[in-house]
Structure 1
Amino acid sequence: MKLNLNIQPLESWLNIKNEPLIISGPCSAETEEQLVSTANLLAATGKVSVLRAGIWKPRTRPGEFEGIGSIGLEWLKRAKAETGLPTAVEVATAKHVEEALAAGVDILWIGARSTANPFTVQEIADALKGHDVPVLIKNPVNPDISLWIGALERINNAGITKIGAIHRGFSSYEKSSFRNEPMWEMAIQLKTLCPTLPIINDPSHICGNRELIPYIAQKALDLDMQGLMIESHIDPSVAWTDAKQQVTPSALEELVSKLNLRDPEAPNEAFADKLGELRQKIDKIDDILIQKLGERMAIVEQIGNYKKDNKVTILQVNRWDEILKKGTAFAKALKLDLGFTEKFLELVHGESIRKQTEIMNEGKTEEEIVEATSGEKA
């Protein structure tokens, strides 16, 4: 299923010519001097296409710096006048939209917390009706593709056709080197559903520290994302918000200069032929994998029926430990990534449990059982 969004190509938005698109500026507008000085240094690099700044900052807890407010829009106007750079700000309410547009802001974006709330997105969408302004939508805090898609649809339904997504990573309970887990598969899924949708990567919020930004930025471009939003501050050490993930304008220039741009299309016919040959081999192996999974699940059904007839529980922990140890040892010998192997085995084992559960309950799925039980309680 493809998303039916009416979208204008990124290059038509503001006649932006830099490739990739680089959106940069301070996490928060703190003072007029801080914002304007940073903007001038960024413009001087020749690498930045759009100046961003946080004017209103939704914070997790009260008492933290929540943005300088509307006065910052006047500073942004001055920065735009001095540098010629288009400007971008985050909006979270209808009032934010009205004030930003009145101040001549060129691009609006919707933050992760706002994307997670359809009421907030709809309020913003209603305020945008009748305006021709580019809008970027960050992924929701949690990995919910439907919320992300829903926000894109609501803004598009308001008549906004200059629309794009920002991939800024997702909250996770697992300990990681990243502030927010990239979960690249979510962005890939969105791109698959809507190939014409521009996706901008936000390595600053994914990484949470400046050291990892080059790695994430390069990977985003290698996955054919159209640009990067990187936070930059004239002196990150004294930044009022997110100091660790901001870079100086000179560091940004160096970072962007070292990025490798790769063509998403085949450079010549010989390359395309060789790539096609290799992909055919992968397709054959994939067919075998799916066939073998089907054969495995047929045996799982036999096991489920045998356990049911003999009144044996579905799960035997020792058996799962055996599968995991054997599988990971084999994967290690084949130089496969152990994390990938464990996830694969967990998925297969989870499907085996689901099928056996269905057998134990006379063919009823877990959803049907829950629905029937809920109906009885009602």
Structure 2
Amino acid sequence: MENKKELRSWLSNMGLSHPLVIAGPCSAETQEQVLTIAHQLKDTDVTVLRAGVWKPRTRPGCFDGVGEIGLKWLQKAKAETGLLTATEVANVEHVRLALEHDIDILWIGARSTVSPFIIQEIADALQGTEKIVLVKNPINPDLSLWLGAIERLYRADIKNLGVIHRGFSTLEKTQFRNIPEWKIPVELQKRFPDLPLICDPSHISGNRDYIFSVCQQALELSYDGLMVESHHDPDNAWSDAEQQVTPATLETIMQDLKVKNRVKDDGFHSSLTRLRAQIDLLDNELVNTLGQRMRLAEEIGALKKVNNSSVLKNKRWNEIIGKMTTKGEEIGLSESFILNVFNGIHQESLKLQEKVQ
């Protein structure tokens, strides 16, 4: 991708002293609801009012948005508050209507990003637009699909681009609605450092209780902004009620975040903070992986007990050490380091197996 620095120009032109904040209801429900939320957000750090008017639902029969009339409500909210406006587009007709109603920012949802056909049709419909276009990560953790969508839009001469990290679907049950998989947006940052990166903590969390911590993690990783779902009466929202916060709560979150104002330095401190945050993520993954390994060791111990088998199996352990030292050498880790790490793991595994004997 050529002239990547052009991708950041729209964000720089906003002249913000803090990360960009996009906020508003998951869905536009009524004109009164949209205007009420907009007026409650206008004196906060929020720059852009978001609201979904077309809602891609997994199953039929659910509330799927108010449609075109919601764009008129966004126009009215902008006229009354000065907030920029943003909505999701999922097909060519959505694009046409959003442009007709002068919506400032169009975002492409996770379900659309998975389809190169949909992305290409949207890119063709937006050919040469000056509008800001944001691309959410695909539902599945596939960096190539995400990058492919960005490249298709860039080739359509859409230079005001950015991406939104909203987490990834998984069959594994976790505290999050969509697991962050932070390493994927971190890798995207490495490849395209001038591509504005925005975090959607609402869809990652699925629970308003986790919004703050996800925002904090994103800012520590040098994200450029946040997209937070905010509703004046979240418990009675027509969609995604659990993950929306009130404008007052959002303002408190913004005030409490440790990384709020951008500080200009020689690049050392910001780079150091970002790298340390990446190490913290990997350390957490290491501990979680070790926990999973030890639970399997306990299961093995229980199986051995039932079958009256000894805990220590030297042949099996020597095979593991041989494979891991070879693997370590391939990625630049010394044999002594691998031995120290896996001997510690082995001793803990034996203790756990002995407990169930």
Same fold (TM over 0.5): yes
Residues 248 and 325 of structure 1, relative CA distance in 2, 3 Å threshold? farther
**Correspondent of 1:61 among 59, 62, 65:** 59
Alpha-carbon distance between aligned partners in 1 of 2:10 and 2:182, rounded to the nearest angstrom:
24
Question: 2:249 aligned to 248, 251, 258, which one?
Answer: 251
CA 1:330/1:31 → structure 2, altered by over 3 Å: closer, same or farther? Answer: same
With over 3 angstroms needed to count, the CA separation of the structure-2 counterparts of 1:328 and 1:149, relative to structure 1, is farther
**Residue of structure 1 in register with 2:149 after alignment:** 151
Shift of 1:17: 1.8
Change (3 A) 1:187 1:5: farther
The whole-number CA distance in structure 1 between the counterparts of 2:19 and 2:77 is 22
> Separation in 2 of the partners of 1:22 and 1:241?
21
Matched, 1:161 2:179: no
Contact 1:10/1:198 (8 A) holds in 2: no
Residue 127 of structure 2 corresponds to residue 129 of structure 1:
yes
Give 1:217's aligned residue: 215
Q: Which residue of 1 aligns with 2:39?
A: 40
Q: Could you tell me how far apart the structure 1 residues matched to 2:241 and 2:329 are?
A: 53
* Aligned-residue offset at 1:129: 0.7
SS of the residue 1:179 aligns to: coil
SS at match of 2:215: helix
Once the two structures are TM-superposed, the CA of residue 149 in structure 1 deviates from its matched residue by: 0.2
1:294-329 CA-partner distances (Å, limit 9, x unpaired)? 99228999xxxxxxxxxxxxxxxxxxxxx9896265
Residues 145-194 of structure 1, C-alpha deviations (whole Å, 9 max, x = no match): 00000000011111111101100000111110000000000000000011
* Count of residues paired in the alignment: 292
Question: What letter corresponds to residue 169 of structure 2 in structure 1?
Answer: S
- Is 1:180–2:178 an aligned residue pair? yes
Query: Following the alignment from structure 1 to structure 2, what is the Cα–Cα distance between the partners of residues 266 and 295?
Result: 43
Q: Is the 8 A contact 1:5 1:153 kept in 2?
A: no
CA spacing shift, 1:298–1:261, aligned 2, 3 Å: closer
**Aligned: 1:297 with 2:307:** no
Q: Distance in 1 between matches of 2:37 and 2:69?
A: 17
Compute the displacement of 1:265 (Å): 8.0
Give the alignment's Cα RMSD to 1 decimal.
3.1
Relative to structure 1, is the Cα distance of residues 266 and 93 closer, same or farther in structure 2, using a 3 angstrom cutoff? closer
Q: 1:320-359 alignment to 2 at 5 Å?
A: 327=345, 329=347
Residue matched to 1:312: none
Identity of aligned residues (%): 50
| Conserved 8 A contact 2:7-2:196 | no
User: Aligned match of 1:52 in 45, 50, 53?
Assistant: 50
> 1:135 & 1:56 partners in 2: Cα distance?
17
In 2, Cα distance between the equivalents of 1:48 and 1:299?
Answer: 47
Q: Which runs of 5+ in 2 are unaligned?
A: 280-320, 331-340, 352-357
Unaligned ranges ≥5, structure 1: 283-291, 302-322, 334-378
2:199 is matched with 201
Preserved CA contact (<8 Å) 1:13 1:134: no
CA distance in 1, matches of 2:23, 2:152: 26
Q: Which residue of 2 aligns with 1:31?
A: 30
